Amino acid sequence: MAQVRPMRADARRNYERLLKVATEAFAEQGENASLDDIAKRAGVGSGTLYRHFPTRQALLEAAYVDRIEELGVRAEELAKQLPPGEALMEWLYELCVGTIQVRGMKALLSSAVTDGSSAALTTCGNVVKQAVARLVEAAQAEGSLRADVESIEVLRLAHGMGSAAELSGVGEPEIRRYLSLLCEGLRSTPR
């Protein structure tokens, strides 16, 4: 087994500076922020950026992994605090608001909604898929969510709704309304 050498102090500083600048650039300009500009603002060459983050996706993931992991933890908290159907709705709301407030996060989560398998998923995509799967299963077991709904479908619908809300410029109260309409359509009906 090959040993992983610790990062040199200067390499660690470059990594942290790149991550800080990238997070700021993505917040300002979205996921298509210029990687060359990020390197320049961090005071390093493009080669250094690509050595640490070989792809735009890798940089996005590093910039937002903490935020996404918080969403995973939040799903667990909501599941303990609220009935399953309400926990799912509240988590979807927080996910949608997060993708609007944190520019670039929606693009990062695209891998979670475009591929039903876990083969091409990033760590962030896996966290979100696992969180929604647990919430969907609990809501289905409770009977507040249709049994034929798959968690990937719920995630795709929420992702699309977040995109639509962002494009239309609606605020957070409207997202709650959209979610209510969505969840009403997904609700289990008595037989």
Assign residue 70 the CATH number of its domain.
Answer: 1.10.357.10
Check whether residue 44 and residue 112 sit in a common domain.
no
Q: How many CB atoms lie within 10 A of CB 16?
A: 13
Which burial class, exposed, middle or buried, applies to 113 when counting CB atoms under 10 A from its CB (0-12, 13-18, 19+)? buried
Residue 38 and residue 93 in one domain: no
The CATH number that applies at residue 43 is: 1.10.10.60
Residues in the chain: 191
Task: Looking at the structure, tell me whether residues 72 and 26 fall in a common domain.
Answer: no
Domain that holds residue 23: 9-54
Q: State the amino acid at position 187 in one-letter form.
A: R
Residues 46 and 131 in one domain: no
Q: Which of 22, 24, 23 is nearest to 36 (CA)?
A: 22
Distance from C-alpha of 9 to C-alpha of 6, rounded to nearest angstrom: 9
Q: What pLDDT, on the 0 to 100 scale, is given for residue 139?
A: 95
Q: Please name the residue that has the structure tokens 């760590």.
A: 123
**pLDDT score for 117:** 47
In a domain, 4, yes or no: no
Query: pLDDT at position 118, please?
Result: 42
* Cβ 109 vs Cβ 128: under 8 Å: yes
- For residue 99, the SS3 value is helix
Number of domains in the chain: 2
The rounded average pLDDT for each run of 10 residues, N- to C-terminus, in the chain (191 residues) is 63 90 88 92 93 90 89 96 95 88 74 55 81 96 92 89 76 78 74 47
Q: Quick one: 181 and 151 in the same domain?
A: yes
Residue 60 near residue 49 (C-beta atoms within 8 A): no
pTM, two decimals, is 0.80
Is 73 within the bounds of a domain? Answer: yes
173 and 107 assigned to the same domain: yes
Q: Give the pLDDT confidence score for residue 181 in this predicted structure.
A: 82
- Residue 72 and residue 109 share a domain: yes
Residue 112 near residue 121, CB atoms below 8 Å: yes
